[in-house]
Homo-oligomer: A and B are copies of this chain.
Amino acid sequence: MARIVMKFGGTSVADLDRIRNVAQRVAREVRAAHEVAVVVSAMAGVTNQLVGWCQALSPLHDAREYDTVVATGEQVTTGLLAIALQEIGVEARSWQGWQIPIHTDRAHGKARIERIEGAELVRRMRGEGMDAPQVAVVAGFQGIGPDGRVTTLGRGGSDTSAVALAAAIGADRCDIYTDVDGVYTTDPRIVPGARKLDRISYEEMLELASVGAKVLQTRSVEMAMNHRVRVRVLSSFQDADETSGTLVVDEDEIVEKEIVSGIAFSRDEAKVTIRRVPDRPGIAAAIFGAMASENINVDMIVQNLSADGTTDMTFTVGKSDLPRARAALDAARPQIGYAEIETDANVAKVSVVGVGMRSHAGVANTMFRALADRAINIQVISTSEIKVSVLIAADYTELAVRALHTAYGLDAA
């Protein structure tokens, strides 16, 4: 007997038939004597419609009212799934963020969960003082702020809700049902020989998630790592057993560590190069302060020294932030005093990720050699303890990913 959180995304609850399927899947866990909480998203398409209405009424709409409107999507799903569970004989009760409550900060539209009061849910999941255990059907993506108003966590926030709930109620596992059957060594649409990983560490998952493997939301992985929540990613459209999917766990739980676990890529970034910046202290602070004050995230940063006492600064920003980044740099030109700005949105970031890098030399070199063999030019390099990322021309993305997948011995036998 275990206590588990099951999370189903929008495509898994897209219509009444799929909600019935989810109910059957939940019922199987209940019949196996598990204590179950389910976290659900809005039915696919619903959130987009609600967001569209808010935007149509006012491009600069009040985030508090946006949250009030958008949070209804998950509320509908909780009630419908509770009804579907009851219909097949499973005790169930829906819970909105304000009812549990799931306390968040006041950052409407992108709130962070601060505290979940899970005791009453656990009491019901265990069936204490009741005729039978009761499945808790919890609205993902939402909470309640300090002012008593509904908050939402931002797109993809239901993963975070599920992990946070699992931490709050001391769940043995958090199963994230999605439209893929696990985490792969890379995107199987690009490398048909990509292998599903049975286990992956939080750190690796975090790097994979943040560089474009869109399986789990980054914040949910961070939260799982911080609270040591065992997360399993598996398909809501396939039969599952205890060994299905990919388990995201502490590095210590992975016995046979691969040097490289996966190859990730992202086409969502754009490159900015600032030519001939005076090479003096405070210049980086001036450039990235201009970005920060516009709330623009900067990713890869490289600085090259020139002979003439100036320097070239290259960095990447989200593609959608590029126009604002450009405008902010134009405005800051008097303070920074650069010669010119070049931008290139036609780039891709390709990353090699693996906890085994810590103990193995030559990982980066394998990457550079494999790319050189295909005549792929590396524009920017950045590294972390368990990751090497390069920026290349976007046209070479698939070629680079396939070459690296082979170079690191990841292709299926």
Contacts and interface: CB of A to CB of B under 8 A. Distances in A.
Contacts of A344: none
B75 A58 contact: no
B69 A84 contact: no
Contacts of A78: 68
Contacts of A86: 58, 61-62, 65
A119 to B, nearest CB: 15
A83 B62 contact: yes
Interface string A84-101: 101100000110101100
A99 to B, nearest CB: 6
Q: State the copy count for this chain.
A: 2
A63 to B, nearest CB: 10
B80 A53 contact: yes
A69 B74 CA distance: 10
Given A68-B79, A79-B65, A57 B94 contact: no
Given A57-B19, A57-B83, A83-B54, A69 B62 contact: no
| Complex A-B, nearest 4 residue pairs according to Cβ-Cβ distance, in ascending order | A69-B79, A68-B79, A72-B72, A58-B87
17 contacts: A16-B56, A20-B57, A54-B80, A58-B84, A58-B86, A58-B87, A61-B83, A61-B87, A62-B83, A65-B80, A66-B79, A66-B83, A68-B78, A68-B94, A72-B72, A75-B75, A98-B98
Given A57-B83, A68-B82, A68-B94, 5 more contacts: A54-B80, A58-B84, A61-B83, A65-B82, A69-B79
